[in-house]
Structure 1
């Protein structure tokens, strides 16, 4: 093993993502796992996972990002999520003029990139509305998986959740269930609430003239992406590897 291999570790609030690039910037290994209660334990688990793949962190370059970046003792350096998500998105989508919408577990980041550099960003970090955590809470309330809510939402309509607060929104969902509202209609309201929150955030940035891409754990939710595209008035792109944008961007930062 030599330093031609670059490791990016993105320890987020919900999930930890790992990406390994070779010397030609090819993604040769990736993985995702729950962060759990201890980022230190998660970092050690990732170290062991790399060893199982024949990758010794002591013989490779490593950059950590995300909420738990300070808990990766073997990282050569730490870089903020904004920088890493921007670099990862440019690598994934092959452009230097982008608006990146990253829907994470506890926050949503919207990043404007011009000429390959971060020009501006907005971040929702004080409320879980419009995030993966919001979807997870609603899914648990409805005894569904998050991906099942997204698929059901396509079949629903005619129902709305008025509160942007996760706690009050959950109460609304419980009330709708008690009233006998169809599951697909409640699912529609949940996804609509997330999309509306993201669109509202996007209005705080100038997104004109740039390609828009979706990263984060919800990037593979086709219905959410389609809904977001309709409300923003342009196609929102997504790649299967989109949830690894932060980790890839970290690996590219060496």
Structure 2
């Protein structure tokens, strides 16, 4: 059976989308899962944060990335670019495998008119993803683009990270509405597993207010675990390191992502009809 393909997306940048993806990936690895990370964001931030062992030479790096594979992929071609996580701990390096992102992913827009071009990632992953327990697709912060179409077409379910502020909530709403509106042409099986409150600062009145309203949004499940702003999460992003290596705060943040994963995984299975 093919593993769940989970896209992490929000139309707005800066809501902690890639941080949530990274936290879920490492939590899944700590739970003994073999995880395939697909970095569809042309910024390649998740590739860097997981210390993917990519070539140093710029021209070689592009060829060894999704940007090269997705130009015209053969079935299962993503296998040729897969690299391990570069963390020292074998819990991560032996369980997390990465299909690296690259700036040239943006050039895929030039080939959007090709027949079934939005299915290219699905084709490239075919057969390869079966060796894993979970596939996590980090999406670009976009609503209407060929990159996002390719990502959504390969996904089974979607997780929406959402900072409890107006702009982030509205951006999450637009993603949800776009999936519902374009379901028949984009991916009829794609469903939203839930919303994850992210970058929460409980001392802010506006965050308290928005958190209270989130449970009423569109009837979607909202994760009861809130990912709060912690220095350790900033350090994880800046230094490309696992959270558990960053002292007490790091372990606290890692435990939070573990709890988010423990909530999300059965939600994903339920939405996919595997419960």
Name the TM-score class by shorter chain. 0.3 to 0.5
Q: Give the alignment's TM-score, normalised by structure 1.
A: 0.32
Write 1 or 2 for the structure with the bigger share of strand. 1
Q: Give the alignment's TM-score, normalised by structure 2.
A: 0.30
Write 1 or 2 for the structure with the bigger share of helix. 2
